[in-house]
Structure formats: C-alpha cells, structure tokens
C-alpha cells in the first residue's frame, strides 16, 4: 500500500509542477517578467537548457540521461522497502518527483521552464521542481549528518564502557 501511495504522491507533485509550467507558458512567457513583491520576488520566464544555474547547458543529452537515472534508482530504492527512516523516505520522494518533473521538460521541450526569481539576492531563476529536489536533498543531508554524529557518539560511549571493564 505504501508503494502505491508513494507513486501517487510522486505523480501528484509532477502534475502540480507541470500545471504551473503550463500556466507560466500561457501567461508569463508572453510578457517575460512580472514583479510580485518589489525588490523581493519576481516571476521571470527562463528557458534553462542546463542544470543548476545554467551549468552544462551544452550537454542537454548527457544531463537528461543522468537526470533519468536518479529518479529511477530512487524509486527502486523506495519501492523495495530499503528505507527505514520516514523522513528519508519523504525526502527521496520529493527528490524523485522534482527530478522527474524537470526531466519531462528536458525531454519534451529541450529545456526546463524556470520562473521564480528572488530579487533581494543575486540568485538563479528556479521552479517548483527545483524546490522539491533542493529541499529534499538538504533535509536528507542534514539527517544523514545527524545520524553519523549520533552513531559516533554511541560508538565513543560504548568504547568508554568497554575500557572500564
């Protein structure tokens, strides 16, 4: 049952991303940019042929192949029940959905549609799928670091106990 829910959540997140991008194409692409909050946030239509911050823009096929591998491996990992952490499960689900959503753009459009532009800092224009990947990855990394530190503390405590015997 968990596997079905996972697939449905991933599909729903991909659908949300694609619906937003459809709206961006229909309403934002013709005007290019729309300021939502002065000096804070703008909606700006960008066709990104690369990865994060436009890197690898001349290697779209290679980028598409790599982007296809990550969601597939992640999905296999989740559906085989390897993840024991609920938080890791949610993070990997978000990463898969975001990666797959941007892959759809790369395959069918040849570029990823980006539209969220922070104005208060010099930063790249990004999209909902990027948020899923970035937040999922950051939270997952923090959790992994926490687990490593916790395990090291337990190992040190166990060494201290065995040395006292």
Residue identified by tokens 């949300």 is 16
What is the rounded CA–CA span in Å between residue 116 and residue 66? 24
Considering Cα of 16, then 131, then 22, then 65, what sign does the dihedral take?
negative
Catalytic residues: 114, 130
What is the rounded CA–CA span in Å between residue 74 and residue 63? 17
Are 9 and 81 in contact by the 8 Å Cβ rule? The answer is: no
């Amino acid at each position: 049952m968990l596997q079905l829910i996972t697939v449905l959540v991933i599909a729903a997140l991909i659908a949300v991303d694609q619906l937003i991008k459809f709206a961006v194409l229909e309403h934002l692409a013709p005007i290019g940019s729309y300021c939502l909050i002065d000096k804070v946030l703008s909606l700006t239509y960008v066709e990104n042929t690369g990865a994060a911050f436009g890197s690898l823009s001349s290697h779209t096929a290679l980028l598409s192949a790599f982007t296809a591998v990550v969601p597939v491996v992640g999905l296999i990992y989740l559906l085989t029940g390897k993840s024991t952490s609920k938080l890791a499960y949610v993070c990997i689900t978000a990463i898969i959905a975001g990666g797959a959503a941007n892959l759809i753009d790369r395959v069918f459009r040849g570029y990823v549609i980006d539209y969220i532009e922070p104005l208060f800092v010099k930063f790249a224009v990004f999209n909902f799928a990027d948020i899923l990947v970035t937040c999922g990855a950051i939270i997952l990394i923090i959790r992994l670091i926490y687990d490593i530190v916790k395990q090291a503390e337990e190992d040190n405590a166990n060494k201290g106990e065995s040395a006292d015997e």
